[in-house]
């Protein structure tokens, strides 16, 4: 449970969760562009989110696409209930 909580315990990670809900299957470059953020920053957050089981990665040609996992969707619902 702690691993999952740490997976979304950052404003960038919350923004990534919301973005992937609206636009699944984005590359790290696309996510960084959409959020007007540094590629390396987003890449590190995605690694932590993936390790926590919140984000799924899928290799497509030369890119890796990212989407919310089922746990990621549950976290999104949880966060929406807090608003």
What CATH number does the domain containing 13 carry? Answer: 1.10.10.10
Residue 53 lies in a domain: yes
Residue 21 lies in a domain: yes
- The contacts of residue 80 (CB under 8 Å, 6+ apart) are none
Residue 12 lies in a domain: yes
- The contacts of residue 21 (CB under 8 Å, 6+ apart) are 68, 73, 76
Token couple for 3: 């691993």
Count the domains in the chain. 1
Residue 36 lies in a domain: yes
Say whether pLDDT at 15 is over 80.
Answer: yes
Question: Per-residue pLDDT averaged across 30-56, rounded?
Answer: 97
CB contact at 8 A, 40 and 10: no
CA–CA distances in Å: residue 34 to residues 6, 27, 30, 53, 71: 23, 11, 6, 22, 23
Residue 82 lies in a domain: no
pLDDT value, residue 61: 86
Residue 83 lies in a domain: no
Residue 43 lies in a domain: yes
Q: What is the reported pTM?
A: 0.93
pLDDT value, residue 1: 86
Q: What is the mean pLDDT of the chain?
A: 95
Q: State which residues form the domain around 34.
A: 2-77
Name beta bridge partners: 67: 56
């Amino acid at each position: 449970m702690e691993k999952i909580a740490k997976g979304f315990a950052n404003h960038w990670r919350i923004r990534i969760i919301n973005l992937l809900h609206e636009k699944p299957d984005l590359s790290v470059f696309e996510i960084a562009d959409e959020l007007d953020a540094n590629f390396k920053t987003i890449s590190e957050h995605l690694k932590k989110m993936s390790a926590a089981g919140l984000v799924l990665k899928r290799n497509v040609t030369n890119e890796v696409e990212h989407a919310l996992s089922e746990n990621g969707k549950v976290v999104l619902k949880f966060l929406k209930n807090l608003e």
